[in-house]
Structure 1
Amino acid sequence: MAINVLTLVGSLRSGSTNLQLAEAAVVNAPDGVDVNVFSGLASLPFYNEDIDVEGQVPEAAAALREAAGAADAFVLVSPEYNGTMPAVLKNAIDWLSRPYGAGALTGKPTAVIGTAFGRFGGAWAQDEARKAAGIAGAKVLEDIKLSIPGSLTRFAELHPKDDAEVVGQVSEVLTALQAAAEQELVAQS
């Protein structure tokens, strides 16, 4: 049985280097790992308890929760906007944190990666994403990090999936995530 990894990308831009990094994860996943990029974050309304009512949850939120419920693990791919994660990624985490104590992230291994133009590769945003996901119940792999600096120049003419160093780093992240997910599945059985 393959480990199902749901990937949430915090950039909505079609040419996003973070989306490209997620694509690199899809094509370079190790054997036994299926990586799926969720494409519906742009239609997700801002989290509001008034609209999070059983039987009336907005379609985009229900689709996210369904995809997340089927996942064994998560990769959050975050650019850095003004020193923190983008609102779209935080909003997805908020939707997945509910119902309180039993959200779709609860207990599932989660890794946070990303790329940014700055010299730290979005490390601050990724730290914030790890914090939010952990508070939401995810089992965040704190030691698994991948922050790629200089995204606009590094990937100006080279897709991350064709960058041997990035491919190796993404494979390491997914291998660690696979091991954590398999361990979690064994613990549950």
Structure 2
Amino acid sequence: MKTITRISVASAAALTLVLGLTACDDDSSQSKETEAKQKSYDQLVANQPAGRMAYSPTREAINQWVKTWGKKGKLSYVYIQNAKGEYGYFVMKGMPVARCQMLTPTEKVDSSTNGRVVVALPGMDGTYSSGSMCDAYYGFDATTGVFMEFTVGTNQSFFLFDRPMSMPEYATAKQLGPTSVEDVADVKD
């Protein structure tokens, strides 16, 4: 009798599970469209799997960037073009940095029994930032250490190089900061 009861209980549990799973099926048009999209994607992947690369030019470029800029004392040559097409330049220690870059996290995730919330954190200066000012860059002059800041956008662009440029538009660029290209001509970085 106990065996029959156990089988009946097990059968009832299995039936409840099956009915429960079918009750969770979503027959909405959105669900059907999502399912169709997924099936189409699965078929495309099966028929046209992604190729594999033996070599990554992107990784090579990133590693070259690290090799170029990962040296202490490396100078950068920042050429700025204004709306009139005129060029000027700065010689800086290291690369210019976007003003929105931070050394500390700008937000954290607080978890509780009610869910997760992203909370803003103050920046290095004790104030909060929305992540704006990404069009403002700053750096320090190569010989004097003077702080310099410039913005890009609204008809002003900048071009960053790891050495002075001799192309005509750059060769005639006006010195904008305290250090000239000639001042650092003998500096090897």
- The structure whose residues are more often strand, as a share, is 2
Q: TM-score, normalised by structure 2?
A: 0.23
- The structure whose residues are more often helix, as a share, is 1
Larger Rg: 2
Greater RCO structure (CA 8 Å; 6+ sep): 1
